[in-house]
Every structure is written in structure tokens, then in C-alpha cells.
């Protein structure tokens, strides 16, 4: 038994992808997505993981921070970042890990090097805070976090600066986002653009310089309206499905002890999305 705890989870193709990979490697494993309505319900679900026989679970929005006090131990990445995106069950103990940012770094560096990038990130929730830290550790020159919640944005900016030494600032999200001059990489770390609503990201597209790398964390659809507009403007893009594949490979290996072939994951997620 493996799975994911979060809200919402319906549109995420991760269960279909993992089940296909389990089948490929002849593992009698299953992946269950559970839509958890509240932090109180999350506590019940986490307590049930060991008696139900789970090997591990992914943790997604909005519980990547809230889950931490419910665990028996956390790794160094979770300690630094302050969020967990998956749990392993080891000898009856729940151990929290975070590889959100590691998957993002691998996906982006297939398209462009991160060293020297001047990054703007929209949103700074549980996934965003991990991604911001990992982008800084990977060599980004500067980060600007644009969020609607000042307390959250300033806290994450301070964390990134503290753990990486990379200058990170907060900017309020008011109306259409105007990008700071010199931005070379733009990332949407919000749920805007997710199926089925496909809400547009309120961005002043005229402030986007040609050649800016544009990244979206949304997994369904693969090409969001945000990425489609960026591609039309000639920008290189990185989609959330590629990030999902990269972090899922790492989680699969942690849970099973098997180093999988990336092509198996790529085929599985393409089939899950009906591509």
C-alpha cells in the first residue's frame, strides 16, 4: 500500500503512473489517492498508515507543513525547508522527506542551466518553499517571491536566504503581475491553470522578456494556458508533468529499493494523461 494525502487530488495522474510502474516491475503494490478534508482528518489518516500496512505516502497541498508534527522523524531537507512532500514507513516509524525541489531542478536543467538565473516564483506554499530553496542551492543568482500573503512570502524569502545565502525578496501580488526587469526564469507555483477550471495566471505578458524560461508546476493539463502563452511568445517551457516524473522516480526508489528506468515512468504518465 502506497498513496497520496491531500486536497484536492482528483486531477493528479500520480496513482495511474505509479500503478503502471509497479506492474512493469511485477510488484504487488498499489497506489491510493485520498482526498483529506481537514487537518483533523489528516491526523487520523497519518495515524492509520502503519496499521493499514502502508509503505509510504506522498503529501500534497495543503498539508506539506501541517503534516510535520504528526511524523516520528524528518530528514535534513524537511528541517531546512519546513515542508514534507512524502513519507516513508520504516519499522513502524513515519519519516518525512522533501524532494519537491529536486524534481524541479532536474526538470528545469533538461532545458536550461540554473546557475546564474534570476528567478521569479508566483506562490510560495508547501511545494513552492521547497522549490525556492532547491533553485537557490542549484545556483540561481537571485529569487523574487510574489505572493498574496505577505507573512508567508516574507517567511519563505527569509528561509531561502538563510539556508542558501542567495538574496531572496518578497513582492506583493496585486492585480496583474509585472515582472522585475532582468527576470530570466519565471515559475508558476500556484494552482492557477489546473484542470478543470484552467484559470489564467494574471500576468502582464509584456513584462516577460524574450527567451525567459517559463515553468509551471501544474500536472493536468501538461500544457497549461500559462505555458501555452509562453510558448507562443517563443519562451522555452518546463511542464509540471516532467517535474512529477523526476520526483516520482526518486520516491519510487526510496520506497521499493529499485532504481527504475526513466522511460518506464515517462510512458506510464503519458498513458495516464491519454497522450
DSSP letter, residue 117: -
Omega before residue 8 within 30° of 0, cis: yes
Q: Order of strands across the sheet with 31-35?
A: 31-35, 2-6, 56-59, 86-90, 93-97, 73-74
Of 110, 182, 187, 107, nearest in space to 142 by CA = 182
Catalytic option among 33, 64, 102, 106: 64
**Beta 86-90 vs 93-97: how paired, if at all?**
antiparallel
Structure-block grid coordinates of residue 157:
524569502
Reply yes or no on whether 102 is catalytic: no
Residues with Cβ within 8 Å of residue 4, at least 6 apart in sequence = 12, 14, 15, 31, 32, 33, 34, 57, 58, 59, 60
At residue 36, what are phi and psi to the nearest 5 degrees? -105, 120
User: Active-site positions?
Assistant: 64
Amino acid at each position: 500500500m502506497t498513496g497520496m494525502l491531500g486536497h484536492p487530488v482528483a486531477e493528479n495522474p500520480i496513482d495511474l503512473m505509479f500503478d503502471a510502474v509497479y506492474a512493469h516491475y511485477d510488484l504487488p503494490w498499489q497506489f491510493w489517492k485520498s482526498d483529506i478534508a481537514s487537518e483533523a482528518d489528516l491526523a487520523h489518516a497519518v495515524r492509520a498508515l502503519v496499521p493499514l500496512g502502508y509503505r509510504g505516502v506522498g503529501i500534497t497541498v495543503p498539508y506539506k507543513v501541517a503534516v510535520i508534527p504528526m511524523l516520528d522523524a524528518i530528514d535534513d531537507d524537511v528541517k531546512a525547508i519546513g515542508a514534507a512532500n512524502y513519507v516513508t514507513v520504516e519499522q513502524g516509524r513515519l519519516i518525512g522527506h522533501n524532494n519537491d525541489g529536486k524534481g524541479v531542478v532536474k526538470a528545469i536543467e533538461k532545458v536550461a542551466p540554473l546557475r546564474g538565473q534570476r528567478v521569479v516564483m508566483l506562490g510560495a506554499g508547501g511545494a513552492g518553499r521547497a522549490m525556492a530553496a532547491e533553485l537557490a542551492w542549484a545556483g540561481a543568482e537571485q529569487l523574487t517571491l510574489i505572493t498574496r500573503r505577505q507573512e508567508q512570502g516574507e517567511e519563505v524569502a527569509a528561509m531561502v536566504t538563510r539556508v542558501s545565502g542567495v538574496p531572496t525578496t518578497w513582492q506583493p501580488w496585486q492585480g496583474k503581475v509585472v515582472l522585475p526587469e532582468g527576470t530570466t526564469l519565471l515559475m508558476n507555483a500556484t494552482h492557477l491553470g489546473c484542470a478543470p477550471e484552467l484559470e489564467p495566471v494574471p500576468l502582464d505578458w509584456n513584462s516577460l522578456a524574450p527567451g525567459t524560461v517559463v515553468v509551471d508546476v501544474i500536472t493536468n493539463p501538461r500544457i497549461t494556458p500559462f505555458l501555452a502563452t509562453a510558448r507562443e511568445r517563443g519562451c522555452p517551457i518546463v511542464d509540471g508533468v516532467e517535474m512529477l516524473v523526476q520526483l516520482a522516480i526518486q520516491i519510487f526508489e526510496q520506497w521499493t529499493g529499485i532504481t527504475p528506468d526513466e522511460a518506464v515512468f515517462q510512458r506510464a504518465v503519458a498513458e495516464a494523461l491519454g497522450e
